[in-house]
Amino acid sequence: MPLHNTMNQTTVNCNTFRTEGVMFPIPIFSKKEVLSHKAEFELMEKAFNGKLPYAGNLHFSLLWAYELSTHPKILDFITPILGDDISVVGTLMLTKYPKTDNYVSWHQDGMNSKWDQNNSLTAWLALTNSNAGNGCMQVIPKSHENLLQEHVYFTDQKNMIRKGHRIATNVNEEEALDLELRSGEMSIHHNSIIHGSKPNASLQKRIGFIIRYINTKYVNPGTSVIYAKGNTKYDHLNKIDKPDAFGLKHSPEAYKDFLTQNIVIK
Ligand SMILES: O=C(O)CCC(=O)C(=O)O
């Protein structure tokens, strides 16, 4: 493809993201490539007797999660939006098992992190097909324009968000857009977009690998990050190095101990 066409497509992508607050579907991995990442998750799941709906902060201690969240195919796509210095500040896997009640309340990511809203984004990578039937993510397009809104905190075991918060006002669900993805595809969403997801009413499991990216310059001081891209040295951050591979991941007992100590499980 001639260079000027590529540049035009990149500009279109950036403009879509800025105006809509979301972009999808973005093809990233082939079905075969996805299988290897899925197999890594299945080893984790096995360590927890086959059920691991919530697993967070994987990138600091699991080599495969580090490599996935710093994968050049993803970084190439987000670099025109975030710039050349990119850090990973969070990873999360939300898995919805068939016919289960777990959902994600309507919220804005920026509420948690208070990151600079325009220089950070979330990538949602599908490790299975994700659709309206199995509880794909939904967004309210353009809702990022109003930046951060008031949230309320509540307790509901079925809500997959750990802190249990939701937008204080009513969300008009008729405006919701289903971010349907095939396995290997990705969506990206703005830190201020209102989003959530419904339970999995189907017989198909839904697995999402979620990565929070930010231009490194805008990371809050003292934060632990991995540098995904760029050579600028920042003194205000706690840079975490690439983890070693955990040698005992094929032993469910040993892997469970390791995961319990090193990642966040709900
Ligand atoms: O996976 C979901 O259903 C919701 C994900 C989400 O809230 C997020 O990526 O910020």
Ligand 1 midpoint to CA 196 (Å): 6
Q: Which atom of ligand 1 is nearest to the CA of 137?
A: 3
> Rounded to the nearest 10 degrees, how much is the dihedral formed by the CA atoms of 165, 168, 174, 180?
-20
Residue 2 pLDDT exceeds 70: no
pLDDT tens sequence across 123-133: 999 999 999 99
Task: Give residue 6's pLDDT.
Answer: 60
Dihedral sign from CA coordinates of 102, 214, 41, 246: negative
Query: What residues are in contact with ligand 1 under a 6 Å CB criterion?
Result: 94, 104, 109, 122, 124, 137, 195, 197, 208, 210
Q: What is the DSSP string of 177-228?
A: EE--B-TTEEEEEETT--EEE--B-SSS-EEEEEEEEEEGGGSPTT-EEEEE
Protein residue whose Cα sits closest to atom 9 of ligand 1: 210
Task: Spell out the domains of the chain, with CATH numbers in brackets.
Answer: 3-265 (2.60.120.620)
pLDDT tens for 22-75 read 999 999 999 999 999 999 999 999 999 999 999 999 999 999 999 999 999 999
Distance 109 CA to ligand 1 centre (A): 9
